[in-house]
Structure 1
Amino acid sequence: MTREMQLRIKKAMTVFRACLLLLISVSVNANEQERLPKWELGAGLATIHLPDYPGADQSQSYTLPFPYIIYRGARIKAGRDGLRGLLFQGSRWDLDISAGGSLPVNSEDNRAREGMDDLDISLELGPSLRLKFLDKPDHKIQFRLNLRALLAADDFPAMDYEGWLFNPELRWRKHYGERYLAGSTLQLRYGNSSYHDYFYGVAPQFATATRSAYQAERGYNSVGIRGFIAAKLDRNWRVTASLGYYDLHDAVFNDSPLFRKNSGAYFGLSISRILWRSSSTASPARIDKVEL
């Protein structure tokens, strides 16, 4: 082998090593970019306007502070859609735990419920089967089958079981660049008699000349649609606006004396700021990875 050929081989090996180091560097940087703080904590302020309960003819506006929490654990996630716990995961489906809830209602402030017990702040909790029709990092279409128990805080922190709700949902989420996110949800609600009775039942002791005793039945509840847009103003500030509508025509409880309207709407606006981030990191949350 001539000296000239040896020099050419040496130069080629040098170029190869440089390319290899560059590829490793890019790979490491990409992995580092994918790593996110395991938790982020902040605070926000939300203004919401909504009916006292679905079917009520009176509404309330609230301005409330709230904690802003993101947690990216291996099995438990907390973020935009609330608390979720991953139980099983497949390539096109997940089984996790989902949660929801409702605000309390002071019966003295509602004409239909005057003299009755208040509606307590409540939590809805149960399993959720999530089928992924489109599952890109920045674009998702999912169908969810939620089965949740209604737990009312009659004597907080004690919670009373008040029935169950079956809640199929079709969800769409889409990123627009790094700063904007939009989404919508179409959902159906079907509850058992205890669930409906909590909101629309009238016990005999609360019956009056204009409000007859009533016991709700199991069956169809409502159909609803909700949309939202969210924006990241900078690394810490977030703004979200949402609007929803539900239809109660043919609801199984529409003969209740507490049922006053066949439809309703609600909207909300919130602003939040992240105050602290953990030094430990985690891979992006797999459940609804739509962080801003």
Structure 2
Amino acid sequence: MLKKSSPLALLTLLAAPAVTLAQDRPALPLWELGLVGGAISQQAYPGADEQVNRGLVLPWFVYRGEFLRADRNSLGVRAYKSRDVEVDVGVSGAFGSSADDIEARRGMPDLGTLVEFGPRVTWKLGEAAGGRWRAELPLRGVFDVSDGGAGRGLAFEPELQFERAAGGGWRYSTSVSAIFANRKLADTFYGVAPQYATPTRRAYTAESGLVAWRLSTTVTRALTPEWRLFGYARLQSVAGAANRDSPLVRKTTGGSVGVALVYTWKQSERRAVD
């Protein structure tokens, strides 16, 4: 998702995959309810030369129904599942921010709160090197709820993931992904309309194609049955990106880090099917 590294990532969406990984064992509860609190320092958007720092405490909810799922980065409906392949239709999103908070975008329209909706194919590749490999292929429409649900384009982010348990109760996940956007979505982030051009920011029309490469790592550890620690780091690069020449791109490589503490308040006695 393009906006996961834009001004404010939704902390619960970042924590969701870590919570799932930390509890990756048979007979998980059908649902869990609790709180997640943490802090994030992230690159404002791929190519930005500024960091955005946030701290949040939010409720989180996991539901592992046969069809309805609130798990692993999204909220949606699982349409198909076999031993190796799963197809779901999901929703995810992230908060927006004021353009005045980012010097490169000052005076331009704000980046609104975006919601994504669309299908995702997950392909389980098997076990190797002491862990499990998985590929995810999400294709989603992007909509701006700050602007009456106006369409902002399409995003595609193929991702290769590796998960493994380590010593001392730690588990980790690493992934490599690439983000692609159509012209409309790319222009939302990298386009500069003529009326927003300045002596130091020329007018620019964005192109469809590669937005950024990403290398991500998450680590988790169960401290008690109710408390879990979560850490997150991401390195992303716009090297070779379609809009590398946009005046809004000021840095080729940037990073994001986050830490969170997850508390499970309630969980169901009933176990999930998978």
TM-score range (shorter-chain normalised) is 0.7 to 0.9
Question: What residue is the counterpart of 2:158 in the other structure?
Answer: 168
Question: What residue is the counterpart of 1:209 in the other structure?
Answer: 199
**How many Å separate the matches in 2 of 1:49 and 1:178?**
27
**How many Å separate the matches in 2 of 1:159 and 1:178?**
46
**How many Å separate the matches in 1 of 2:156 and 2:257?**
23
Matched, 1:283 2:272: yes
Deviation at 1:103, TM superposition (A): 3.4
**How many Å separate the matches in 2 of 1:76 and 1:177?**
34
Aligned letter for 2:203? Answer: A
Question: What residue is the counterpart of 1:119 in the other structure?
Answer: 111
* TM-score (norm. length: structure 2): 0.83
Deviation at 1:135, TM superposition (A): 6.3
Alpha-carbon displacement from aligned partner over 1:209-237 (angstroms, at most 9, x marks no partner): 22222111111222111001001111110
Aligned letter for 2:253? Answer: S
**How many Å separate the matches in 2 of 1:254 and 1:188?**
15
Alpha-carbon displacement from aligned partner over 1:164-190 (angstroms, at most 9, x marks no partner): 112111011123479432101110111
Change (3 A) 1:145 1:80: closer
Aligned letter for 1:74? Answer: E
* TM-score (norm. length: structure 1): 0.79
**How many Å separate the matches in 2 of 1:212 and 1:56?**
16
Question: What residue is the counterpart of 1:40 in the other structure?
Answer: 32
Larger Rg: 1
Question: What residue is the counterpart of 2:102 in the other structure?
Answer: 110
**How many Å separate the matches in 1 of 2:166 and 2:74?**
22
Aligned letter for 1:49? Answer: S
Change (3 A) 1:129 1:34: closer
**How many Å separate the matches in 2 of 1:62 and 1:123?**
20
Q: What 5-or-longer segments of structure 1 have no aligned partner?
A: 1-32, 286-292
Deviation at 1:34, TM superposition (A): 4.9
Q: After the TM superposition, which of the residue ranges 123-132 and 40-49 deviates more from structure 2?
A: 123-132
Question: What residue is the counterpart of 2:9 in the other structure?
Answer: none
Structure 2 residue matching 1:42: 3-state secondary structure: strand
**How many Å separate the matches in 1 of 2:178 and 2:163?**
18
Question: What residue is the counterpart of 1:83 in the other structure?
Answer: 75
Deviation at 1:110, TM superposition (A): 1.4
**How many Å separate the matches in 1 of 2:93 and 2:169?**
28
Alpha-carbon displacement from aligned partner over 1:111-159 (angstroms, at most 9, x marks no partner): 11111111112223321111111169x942111211122222224xx42
8 Å CA contact retained: 2:46, 2:212: no
Aligned residues: 249
8 Å CA contact retained: 1:141, 1:171: yes
Alpha-carbon displacement from aligned partner over 1:18-56 (angstroms, at most 9, x marks no partner): xxxxxxxxxxxxxxx954432111012110001111111
Which structure's relative contact order is higher, taking Cα pairs within 8 Å and 6+ residues apart? 2
Of the candidates 135, 151, 173, which is equivalent to residue 143 of structure 1? 135
Of the candidates 188, 198, 211, which is equivalent to residue 198 of structure 1? 188
8 Å CA contact retained: 1:52, 1:105: no
Deviation at 1:268, TM superposition (A): 0.4
**How many Å separate the matches in 2 of 1:178 and 1:75?**
34
